[in-house]
Homo-oligomer: A and B are copies of this chain.
Amino acid sequence: MRLQTDTRRAQLLELGMDLFAGRSYDDIAIDDLAAAAGISKGLLYHYFRGKREFYVESIRASSLRLRRLSEPDPKLPPVARLRAAIDAHLNYVQEHGPAYAAIYRSGIAVAPEVNDILEEHRAVIARYFLRNLGVARPRPVLRAALRAWIAMVEGASLDWIAHPSLPRDQLRELMIAGYVAMLAKALELDPKALPQSLLKAAAAAS
């Protein structure tokens, strides 16, 4: 029974973001949401206290899904790993463009706690890449370089949704070039920013 409830809730959350992305938040009535989900309004209230909670939890679920998808796969070699993580991110953006744009552009306007979800999302992505680099506690310049790059990925994704004429591979290559440039500059500015073992491995591979 508990499992069923959780499954149904997860299904509603998956549907939720696409419902909210389609129209402005204020224009959607809780009845519309229930109808689109094929359940009664009463049952929807069983899962969420109201439209706002359904909205915020849909965004949280989207963030968790995107994190899982874009977690670098340690089984891949470093460059392929970065490319695969960015590809997974761009797949998500391509499939859920209006939802992604709605979260980043108007989510905070609907509910300020969306800001916390986005900040946590950025922190998790930064941790993925730090773990990948073998860094437990980043020095300031490495932290800044990663945060700058994450902001670049968000901004470039949002711009791509609005202007999809750019071929997807070109966007990916821009993002990879940004990552490489940020890490290279961080290392130049602070030679202790990356572990020696990583640099030796990179030198040996090249």
* A51 in the interface (beta carbon within 8 A): no
CA distance A167 to B148 in the complex (A): 15
| Interface 0/1 of A141-155, CB less than 8 Å to B | 101110111111011
Q: Is the CB of B170 within 8 A of A177?
A: no
**Which residues of chain B have C-beta atoms less than 8 A from A185's C-beta?**
173-174, 177
* A10 in the interface (beta carbon within 8 A): no
**Which residues of chain B have C-beta atoms less than 8 A from A181's C-beta?**
177-178, 180-181
Residue of B nearest to A144 (CB): B166
Q: A residues engaging B (CB < 8 A)?
A: 105-106, 108-109, 111-112, 115, 140-141, 143-145, 147-152, 154-156, 158-160, 163, 165-167, 170-171, 173-175, 177-178, 180-182, 184-186, 189-190
Sample of 18 A–B contacts (CB below 8 Å): A105-B108, A108-B109, A109-B109, A109-B112, A140-B167, A140-B170, A143-B159, A144-B160, A148-B152, A148-B155, A148-B178, A149-B152, A151-B159, A154-B155, A173-B185, A174-B182, A177-B181, A177-B185
